[in-house]
Each structure stands twice: as structure tokens, then as C-alpha cells.
Chain A
Amino acid sequence: MDQTELKSRIKRALLEELDLRGRSEADIDDAAPLFGEGLGLDSLDALQLAMAIEERFGVSVPEGEASRAIFASVNAIAEHITRAKAG
């Protein structure tokens, strides 16, 4: 899957799974942090996102510290999915 398409699917997952009403894909910067400042997401969102990535992309997300790095940005999520699919 090409990276643009993958990132678009990740953003759609973010919007739907985290119920970010009133926002669109265009509002989410590929490199911007998702948690804390960024979209103002919390640990409950992180759990939901981990489950959704496994469900939608067939890629599991490790728990704890490791997941924090993966959820740093849309770019980081895309990288994790690409690496997991390749491996």
C-alpha cells in the first residue's frame, strides 16, 4: 500500500475510532503529536487506537512504553504498520 493511502486510512481510523467529530483528515498533520498537546488524546484513546490498528490493519501494537513511540504521530503509526507488514 502506498504511504499516502496508508496515512489516509490511519487518519480515518483516528477520526472514527476516537470520535473526533467536526475534524477531517486535513486537520491532522502527519508529523504532529497525537497525544498530550496535539489532538488532546488520553490513555483511553491509546487503548482504543491499539485495538483498532490490530482490527483494521492486522498489526498488533505492543503495550506500555513501546506503544507511546508508535503513537507519536501519524507518520510513526504508518512506519510501525509498514515495518510489521514487511517483517
Chain B
Amino acid sequence: MAKRERIAVTGLGLVTSLGFGRERSFTRLCAGERGIGEVSLFDTSGLKSRIAAEVRGLDVGAIAPHAEAGDWSRSDALAFVAAREALAQAAHREGSALGLALGGTTGGMYETERALAAIGPGRSTPQDVRRLLDFPLAVTVERLARALGNVGPSATVCSACSSGAVAIALGASWLLSGRANRVLAGGVDGLCQLTFTGFSALGAVDPEPSRPFDVGRAGLTLGEGAGFLVLELESSARARGVPILAFLSGWAVASEAHHVTHPEPSGERAARVLSDAMAVAGLSSAEIDYVNAHGTGTIQNDAMEARALQRVFAADVGRVWVSSSKAQIGHTLGAAGAIEAAITALSVNRGVLPPTAGLERPEVPELRHVRGANQGARLRAALSSSFGFGGACAVLAFEAPDAKPRALPHARSGEVVISGAASYGPAGVLRGAESARYLIEGEVFAAPSLEPLSLLDAERSRRFGRASALVVATAEGALRDAQREPAETGFVVGSAFGDVERSVRFLQKVLGQGPKFASPAEFPQLVASTGSGNASIYLGLTGPCLSVSEFATSGQSAVSVAISLLELGLAPAVLAGAAEARDSVVDTVLGGDGTRSEGGGFVVLEQLSSALSRGQSPRAVVAEHRALRGAPERAFAALPDPPRRACVVAGFLPSAIAGSLRRSRWADVRLVSLPAVLGQHEAIGATALAVATSEVASGAAEQALVITADVDTLYLTRLCRYETQP
């Protein structure tokens, strides 16, 4: 087994309700202060809880670059402030190469809600409706990338309340695989009515400030903020001479596949994720001195988490300090995993423990709760836990900067293959080589008439929207084609805008009839990670399951992220792709020319050794998969000569990119532009990947090139037949 270098944390940035900046946030946190008060951002009358951990005095216009001042959301601004602080501490020179991994759940939902409230009934103009699509989750990364310069790779990930932690694990993967030399990884979430009324409808909100781990706890307190870490390999930090604040030593991401809102009560999966993170770090439980718990303050989470900690530390549990920061800075949802990772890193760096505020009568007195303010302790290593909706678990392990170096094993990842594929289009779900029929010249396909929900078990797919049904049905097809068991399999789904129509309906009811008519069962279907949560539970996938967002290249971004999860060894196989359903709001804004349709594609990406060990012959080999910002000419120039039988399958192909292709060695290869065959939708690039896999799997092509682009990013994926691989 190969060895790996340690990952150094060289920068930390925080914005919380306790203050702008890590010093102010951490000092007040350790002092036991609480940044919780009456919500000022929107009307909360009629709700049982009217408090939150709001970031006061956020001047978005003053933080945003002048030219974009009117376009930035509160989340954009929160993220930018924390990002700048972390980069400054790491002595990052503006314009140096930087990977950017961001976790979040709501993006600019607050601004979307203001736009929706401004639309009067029956008199909406196209401009009004367009405003509803101005703040998708992926926008923050675009804005930060423009403001920071020279960003790549980048990704926006959502795994509900573990999003921020997953973004940090993704950053670690990029460093270890050499995809990036320095990474800015973190999370952001701003308060909004969707989450505020949604959690309230679930009865999950305490009217008083939350009391994690207390017998009298009655739910969470929502919060907002941002947290970022600058990560680089130890050798890079030493060479640059920047101080190492802490080591990011371990990580683990997995799913419970249990329930959309309830954690699996035994804590068995959570305990496994805690243990896995220690194993990656090469740490034993006896070396862990502190756990910064997820500790939301809900009845179910805290009980489950206490059980998980008792499982992991057994008789030693009374030695390990435990605290939750959420009673002071609120539950910051997609940002929590990153904010609390930064807090954990600061704790080990300084040897100070943040307490659990509001904890008077611990439900599990066996745990060693941090109760007093400013408590010092020598902390060798600490864990930061995140357990999100849909059973999305992530744990990170940090060590003090003076930790002794030791050999860290790291399985070098081998060749990545596609062991199964499926597309969704006019012909329904097509598996394996079947999708190649979309490449037959002259065939005309009618608009899809199939009801995707009819493909799923009615009881287990209750409340799935059309988009979730498409995602799950297509992913199930790919999994079956790969003949793979769902256990330990991961899942990454790209989503451009989310279920806009359904979110708008939910919000219109809240704005029109009042917040008490927020639908509790609808809310969990409206978060950005709905697709991955539903798929994990429906299909029984227990590997890392998450959603990614990157406009019309979301499916391609999902493939990039899935490959990174494989490279990090988080799963032997990961389902990756995207599927989009018709959506009245999206169609109103983008459907002017009548070519809008729906569909998508999924592939099972697997380590070659894993596929072969279970007797599965790969459908195709992923020879290259690249995301390119700007200057595509070079990427096309670097393509090898095409074999005799080859094809190019394009999702969205802008004319400039088509020009680059015509000047490349692949100029004379047969090109099929899928939107011309199947119509236009945001997952057409994912369809293209499944169709190209099909063409290679059937033997019709020895190699296939998949091209799709959007905004500033072009994706290029080259697939080869397994046998012809040199």
C-alpha cells in the first residue's frame, strides 16, 4: 500500500452570529456567549419559534465587487468574507491556483423569496419569473471564482447538514490526487423562510435557544454563516514557510439509507463513520481527546449521537470531551460541517474547548460534556461530526500542529471504469448498450409520455417529485446494468436548479396563507440534496451520497466529484449522473423556443479492480475526464488520434467549442448533438455520457468523446472500449 502525505490546514475563516472573523467568533464561542435573537430578516409571526442565530450587520453591497453589487446574495457575501479571511491567513497570493469546494443547501434562497414576494398574483412578467432562477446553489462558487481568480477545480456539493464537511473531504481528495496544490474548502448557508418554516413545520425547532444533549431539549435553533479552511499538503506549507494551524488527518462520508428526516436510532452507521475517519487518520480512539458533535438539540439526533459515541469509545467515553457549538451559533445547515471543522481545528490549535451552552441536565451523563467557559485542555486529536437529513453522515479528524508524523497508508486509486449505464429519454429507461439507439440516424423520437413515478414502487417513492422519480429510476437502471449491490455504493447527482416549481408552491402557500401552513412532508423534498437522499434510501445506497450543482454541466460535475470520491477511497463504486424533469418555472424562463424536454443519464463509476473482482466486465474505460475553464484549444490539441470507429456525443455544444473541435484531430469523427435528437434540458450532458457509454459497450465505437459546456466550463470525457485499452 502506498503512503500519503499529511494535509495541513494553513488558513481558517469564519462568519457566525457571534461575529465576523475567526478570532471574534471563536473567542466569544469559548466564553460561552450565545448569538441568538429575534429574527429580523423576515416575518416569523404565527410560528412557535421566532429566534435564530442571525448574522447582523451584513452589508452585501459593500462586500460584493462593485460591478456585481446588486446581484450578490447574503450567502455569497457570507462566503466571500470567510473565504478572504482564510486565504489571507494562509498567505495566499491573489491569482495563485486554487481549488474551490463549497458545501451549502440554500444558496440565494432568501433573495429568491424576496423576488417571489414581489410578484403579485396574476401579473408576473417574464423578468419577474427569471429572477427566481437568478440564485441557484452553484452561483456562489461562480461569484467566488470570479472574485478570487484562477480557480480550478471547483464544485458545489450538498449533502444536507453534512455539506460543509463533505466539501472539505473533497478538497482533501484533490490534494492527494494532485488535482490541486491548494484548496479553499468550506460551507455557507444564509437564513431563509424555506428552511425556517420548514423545520418549524417538522416540529424540530425549540422556541427557546437550543439545548443540545439536555434532557429538556426541544429542537434546534437555526443559524447562518460561513466557514472555510485552506488546505495544502504538509510539504507545500513547509516550503512556503506558512504556519500549520492543524492537520486534517482523517475523513469519512457515508449514508444511513434509513429515512428522509429521522436518523437511524441505534447510531450504528454514525459510529462506523466516526471509526472510519479515525482509521483513515491512523488514530486509535484512545488518541481522540475531543469531539465537536453535530448536537442539533433535536430529541432524535442527540440521542442517536450519544449512542454512537458510546459505541465508538466504549468504556473510554468518559475521558473524551464532547460539545456542540449549535446552542451559540445555531444550526447553520450546509455550513455547519465547515464552520464546526474550523472550530475543531482552532480548538486543537489552541488547546481550548468550546462549551455546550444551555446544557443543564445532560441526558447521557456518561459523556464528558464541556460545560464551563474557556476551559483549557491539551488536545492531541479531535473529531468533527455532521449527520444530515436523508442519513448523510460525515466525520473529519483534526490533529494538533505538533502531532508526530507517522506513516499514513493510502490506497493508490487504479483505473476508473464505467461498469453500468442507463439513460432516460423518450424510450424510458434504457440500460447498457440500449441507449445507442439515440444515435441511429433518421430515427425520430416522440416527447416522453411516460410517467416516471410509475416506474417506482408506489409506497417507497411517496412524495417523490417528478425530478426525483427520474433520478431514482435512471440510477436504478444503471445500478442494475452494473449488476452491483447497493451497499457501500456512493451516489452523486447533478442538479441545475432543484425542484423550482414545487419550492415556489411551498413558499407561495407560506407567503399567502401564513407560515403555519408550511407543509412538513413537502419541505424535505425541497432541499438541494433531495435527489441524493431519496436515491440513497430508495436504492439502499450506503456509500457517500450527495448532490452537486453546476448549472447545465451539473451531471458532468457529478462525474468529477464521483471520481474524486473513488480516488479518496470513500467507496469502491459511485453512481453518477443527472436527470431533470419538466418544471413550469424553468420552462417559462428558458423554454422560449419550444425545444425543452426532460431526461438524463447515470453511470456506475467503479475501480477496475472492484468491477473485475465481482466478475463484471466494464462497459467502458474512462480514459480522461476533464473540466476546463477557458482556453479549450489546448485540451482538444492534446487529444490522441481517434481510432477507426469513434464518435463524438455532445450535450450542449456552443459554437466556439464546435470550432475548436473542427480544428482538432477529431474533426472528421461522426458528431451527434443530442439536443437535436432529444430536446434541450440541463441533464442532456449526463444523457450524452450514458449514450456514449452505450455506443462503446455495444462495440459500435472503440472510443467516444463526450462534450458539454455551460457558463465558463467545458467538460471533455473520453471513453475507450475495455479490451482496446493499451
* Residues of chain A at the chain B interface (Cβ within 8 Å): 17-22, 40, 42-45, 47-48, 51, 54-55, 63
- What CA separation (Å) do A68 and B453 show in the bound complex? 31
Check A45/B521 contact, CB under 8 A, given A20-B462, A21-B453. Answer: yes
In the complex, what's the smallest C-beta–C-beta distance from A51 to chain B, in angstroms? 6
Q: Is residue B516 contacting chain A, with contact meaning CB distance below 8 A?
A: yes
CB distance from A38 to the nearest CB of B (A): 13
**In the complex, chain B residues whose CB is within 8 Å of the CB of A43:** 262
- Contact in complex: A40, B520 (CB < 8 Å): no
Residues of B within 8 A of A (CB): 201-203, 259-262, 453, 458-459, 461-463, 513, 516-521, 524
Say whether, besides A47-B202, A51-B201, A63-B203, A19 and B462 are in contact (CB < 8 Å): yes
> Assuming the A-B contacts A47-B202, A47-B203, A51-B516, are A21 and B521 also in contact, with contact meaning beta carbons closer than 8 angstroms in the complex?
no
* In the bound complex, CA of A21 to CA of B461 (Å): 9
Q: Contact at A51–B458, with CB atoms within 8 Å?
A: no
Q: Given A42-B262, A48-B521, 18 other A-B contacts at CB below 8 A? A: A17-B521, A18-B462, A19-B462, A21-B461, A42-B259, A44-B202, A44-B261, A44-B520, A44-B521, A45-B521, A47-B202, A47-B203, A47-B520, A47-B521, A51-B519, A51-B520, A55-B513, A55-B517
On whether the beta carbons of B458 and A48 are closer than 8 Å, the reply is: no
Which of B203, B459, B461, B519 is the one whose CB lies under 8 Å from A40? B459
- Chain B positions within 8 Å of A20 at CB level: 458, 462
Question: Given contacts A47-B202, A47-B203, A51-B201, is CB(A21)–CB(B458) below 8 Å?
Answer: yes
Residues of B within 8 A of A21 (CB): 453, 458, 461-462
Of residues B261, B459, B524, which shows the largest number of chain A Cβ atoms within 10 Å of its Cβ?
B459
B202: chain A residues within 8 A (beta carbon): 44, 47
**A22 to B461 CA separation, bound complex (whole angstroms):** 12
Contacts of A55 in B (CB 8 A): 513, 517
The 10 A-B pairs of least Cβ separation, nearest first, read: A48-B521, A47-B520, A22-B458, A21-B458, A19-B462, A19-B463, A48-B520, A44-B521, A55-B517, A44-B261
* 19 residue pairs A–B, Cβ–Cβ below 8 Å: A18-B521, A19-B462, A19-B463, A21-B453, A21-B458, A42-B259, A42-B262, A44-B202, A44-B521, A45-B521, A47-B520, A48-B521, A51-B517, A51-B519, A51-B520, A54-B516, A54-B517, A55-B513, A55-B517
Chain B nearest CB from A43 CB (Å) reads 8
Residue on B nearest A21 in the bound complex, by CB: B458
Q: How far is the CB of A65 from chain B (nearest CB, A)?
A: 14
Cross-interface CB contact of B260 among A18, A22, A44, cutoff 8 Å = A44
Residues from chain B with a CB closer than 8 A to the CB of A19 are 462-463, 521
Set of chain B residues within 8 Å of A45, measured between Cβ atoms: 521
A19 to B520 Cα, complex, angstroms: 13
> From B261, which residue of chain A is reached at the shortest CB distance?
A44
Give Cα A29 to B520, complex, Å: 25
Q: Which residues of B contact A22 (CB under 8 A)?
A: 458
CA distance A54 to B519 in the complex (A): 12
Chain B residues positioned under 8 Å from A51 (CB to CB): 201, 516-520
Least CB distance, B395 to chain A, in whole angstroms:
26
Which B residues are in CB contact (< 8 Å) with A48?
A: 519-521
